[in-house]
Structure 1
Amino acid sequence: MIQVYYFAGLRDAAGKAEETIDRAEWKVQELLDWVEEAYPAFRNKTVFVAVNEEYASREDVITSGDIVALIPPVSGG
């Protein structure tokens, strides 16, 4: 099971703050592809991914028990 958290505007796009996905292993890119398919509002959005509190690349592998955060770009001034 992979725990996924959606932050800020991505929470609105998903319609939820978190969910558990029943997968043993997934590449970050596969997760992002799934999210775009499940939640069309994610399409064309920039999304940063953190796995177990560390930013991940699209090729990194997520395994069961990992915690994933999907984070939009942060701006400030």
Structure 2
Amino acid sequence: MITLLFFAGVKETIGSETLKLEGEQQTIAEIKEHLQHTYPTLSLQGVMVAINEEFAMDEDIVKENDRVAFIPPVSGG
């Protein structure tokens, strides 16, 4: 099982801090595609992704028991 972690606006759109994904290893791009299909209003533009607390690219592979965080851009003042 893969654990997905969401923050800020992504968390609000998904409606949860975490989701669990069943299945074999897959790429970040495949996970993003699944999320955007499941949550059509979700925008992942500018969102950074980390696998097990290491920043990742779309082609990186996610394996069983990995934790994948979706971190939107931060603004403040």
Normalised to the residue count of structure 2, the TM-score between the two structures is 0.91
Percent of aligned pairs sharing the same letter: 36
- Asked if residue 70 in structure 1 is aligned to residue 70 in structure 2, the reply is yes
Amino acid at match of 1:62: V
Residues 8-30 of structure 1 deviation map (CA, whole Å, 9 limit, x = unaligned): 11001101110110022010000
Deviation, 1:76, is 3.2
- Please identify runs of 4+ aligned residues in structure 1 that moved more than 2 A: 43-46
Give the aligned length: 77
Please tell me the root mean square deviation across aligned C-alpha atoms, in Å.
Answer: 1.3
Normalised to the residue count of structure 1, the TM-score between the two structures is 0.91
- Asked if residue 12 in structure 1 is aligned to residue 8 in structure 2, the reply is no
- Unmatched segments (≥5 aa) in structure 2: none
Q: Aligned residue for 2:41? A: 41
- Unmatched segments (≥5 aa) in structure 1: none
